[in-house]
Chain A
Amino acid sequence: MLSVTGLTKTFPGARALDGVDLSVGPGEVHALIGENGAGKSTLIKLLTGVYRPDAGEIVLQGRPVRFATPLEAQHAGISTIYQEVNLVPLMSVARNLFLGREPRGRLGLIDFGRMHREADEALRALGLRVDVRRPLRSLGVGAQQMVALARAMAADARLVVMDEPTSSLEPREVRTLFGVIRALRERGIAVIYVSHRLDELYEVCDTVTVLRDGKRVHTGLLAGLNRLSLVSLMLGRELGEARAATTGARASGGEPVLEARDLTVRHSLHGVSVSVRPGEVVGLGGLLGSGRSETARAIAGALPPDSGQVLVAGLPVRTGSTPAAIRAGISLLPEDRKAEGIVPGLSVRENIALAALPGLARFGLVDDARVDRVVDTFVKRLRIKTAGPHQKVGELSGGNQQKVLLARWLAMRPKVMLLDEPTRGIDVGAKAEVRRLIDELADEGLGVVLISSDMEELIEGSDRVVVLKDGAVVAELTGTEVTEERLLRAIASEGTRAPEPTGAPEPLEVAERAGAARSPDADRRDRP
């Protein structure tokens, strides 16, 4: 089906891909894994015509191909599902599905009746029931991804490349996606599946190729490879730096450094109370849309609550004001690192100093020597890998961007840190490092609120877990109760419904939502 030999791509200053071979047969689901910067994205972009190779050849169905544009790759039968949905949000679902190949009637006009009928059929085949005439943006991210997938299938793809397709999906949507992948396999369509989530790989993939530093280090059947060897292949070293178990190890005495009381935000939070003591890591558990991010944002002043109180070290903080929260010692590491965290065009130095700037200035003039000292300290302490303090943050890997953000907040000497998905989308090595940093910070007496969709991370990292469901606290696990099983049971438990009807959480049949031009992430958070 697809066979790639000796593929090489060099960017100014770096060889991103170095003589990589890859072959995928019909009906094969092939996992492509590697740390950030291993060359996965480059390989995908070469396959889909975004970049052109410097050397090597791509053979598709027995014929060597060269793609000048992504469109050519599509016509040749290679479709791609990206992490972020690449569709037109304002157009209807059906139009998105048939964009560029609309069924024509007489006079060359679009045959809307047929288009809507066929779109509806295509989506039903994927288990998605929506009104195809509605604009795409009124759907949830998961449903949008299904539309993208339907589009890829309808385009008569022979090979579907999926780049982290599940990173913004609900578990239920992931199930649907896997069903679709199996259907693709039965139809003899090859799939290249890129993901950081090992569980998913083992569940859905047949074979695996591991990339490291632009080279292929392993190809083989996935079934014969255990997790530990897979991870050590990716990292090129043994995971010796595993975290020590910390559950319940830290003293949980003392007055709370942060207390949130009865936070209520229409449609998303219903009287959420959380308290954190110094040196304690409090996990916020729950599914996507359960109000975890909203709780963090309400505490940090980024989401004005309708009622409720936030106290830091016993003193009330004005709600709905980010500067007030920051002055009080609350720092928020936002979920959407790229859109809300880093300032991509500014340097590492400027990004670290950003929040602390007024404190590093005299009469409005920035004291460059002091900024350099602060930046230097944190680059060393957090081991930020950068070509220099003047490198643009947008050019760093995800893990290092996250460290830059941590540095920005640590420079403010916060009392409480709210970490929303601190390890999402960063590679395994950096993940371990960030987790260790969180532990270190807590050991130094910082109060930490940790949000993570990675259940293992949440359980291992937290001293206590507050479980949210539909915007309300349903359980609090302490000490030995902090286990995956208890957490799952709390999430799955019935009762403690939200006092105000918020609409049942139906991930696939999505209710119309307000808010037009927002990022998928913002939309996802707003889901009732």
Chain B
Amino acid sequence: MTTELAAPRRAPLDRTRLLTYLQEYGVYAGVAVLLLANVLFTPHFLSAENFRTQAVQVAPVLIVALGMALAIGSEGVDLSVGSVMALSTSLLSLYLGYGPWVAVIVALIGGAAVGLANGSLISFIGVQPIVATLALMVAGRGLALVLLPQLKDVRDPGVASLGSGDLLGVPYPALIAAALALAVAFTVRRTTFGRQLLAIGDSRPAAKLAGLPVRRVLITVYICSGVLAAVAGVLATARLQASDPTSLGTLMELSAITAVVVGGTPLSGGRIRIGGTVAGAVLIQLLTATLIKHDLPPSWTQIAQAVVIVLAVYAARERGKR
């Protein structure tokens, strides 16, 4: 209401401020607490082998979550990411005959095509993102199964090394995920596209009247999300050394949304936190790993995830209310 409101705040640490901090930094604190707890209570947690396993496992979710963060930042969502992963694994094994690189590129083009379809439905026809991407989620999985009806082994040394090779001890999937996270963070912060994306996510009518290329930006967002999901699909295939379009990427959209939301990106758009998204993905991975290492049933993992989501949403809600 007043301009003074944004003046330096020196009020005591009350509940509202605590919740603000919880939303801003809670996800990092969560990761730190889990790491500490594991170091203290989990045997062999500090081994290099364990860290490599965790990194390889988190990479696909993380990469998908990056694209999801863009979609959510534009006040949308991309439900088709899991199906894009399945489509990319089908394409990868179909085109493996032309060599691993051709196959990977075809898989990525497949992801881009799904993204283009999503973006066109949303920006030209005006379908709501949740509906448009739901349609592509069903269609994508169907197409993947048409191309490759059942599980197929992927025997290619090139693809295999992508999944299990490393550079100076850091596995390739983790390196790729880190590089992509940096690239997306840079795009959001420093490019015209990133700034326009945030403006569109925050207030679509204002962005339109300011002459922003709303359609182009939205289509680009969904293409990015599609390509990132395809990358995740390729990496997952490389690690499993098999293409399984029936189950690869199922429920991936939910994991990715969880990572984004837990990381503090509001579902209402206009703000994207890449650091938080990375931490969100890591948090959920660590949570799962911790419970598994202590021999708790998988259902516990789901309950723990649910608790984390509720906490994140609670913090976000309080913040919006002032």
Contact = CB atoms under 8 A, between A and B. Distances in A.
A300 B2 CA distance: 32
B9 A343 contact: no
B55 to A, nearest CB: 30
Contacts of A392: 6
Interface string A252-265: 00000000000000
Nearest to B17: A12
Contacts of A355: 210-212
B255 interface: no
Contact of B6 (A364, A366, A391): A391
Contacts of B203: 339-340, 342-345
A62 interface: no
B5 A361 contact: no
A316 to B, nearest CB: 18
What size tier do the contact residues of chain B reach?
A: 20 to 34
Interface string B1-39: 111111111110000010000000000000000000000
A136 B264 CA distance: 37
A37 interface: yes
Of listed B4, B206, B213, residue having the most chain A CB within 10 A: B206
Chain B interface main SS type = helix
Nearest to B4: A14
Contacts of B10: 12-13
Contacts, number: 119
Given A340-B206, A341-B206, A366-B192, A13 B4 contact: yes
A302 B210 CA distance: 10
Nearest to B193: A364
A167 to B, nearest CB: 17
A13 B270 contact: no
Interface string B198-231: 1100110111111111000000000000000000
Interface in A339-391: 339-346, 350, 353-355, 357-358, 361, 364-366, 368, 385-387, 391
A16 B1 CA distance: 9
Nearest to A340: B205
Contacts of B207: 343, 354
Interface stretch (A119-127, A142-150, A395-403): A395-403
A525 to B, nearest CB: 12
B198 to A, nearest CB: 6
Interface string A35-51: 00100011000000000
B294 interface: no
Contacts of A139: none
B3 A13 contact: no
Interface centre among A300, A322, A358 (most CB of B within 10 A): A322
A365 B195 CA distance: 10
A330 to B, nearest CB: 10
A368 B194 CA distance: 14
A408 interface: yes
A14 B5 contact: yes
B271 interface: yes
Contact of B211 (A16, A323, A339, A340): A323
A272 interface: no
Contacts of A357: 192, 195-196
B209 A341 contact: yes
A408 B210 contact: yes
Q: Which 7 residue pairs of A and B lie closest in terms of their CB atoms, listed nearest first? A: A14-B4, A326-B211, A13-B7, A345-B270, A12-B9, A12-B11, A37-B2
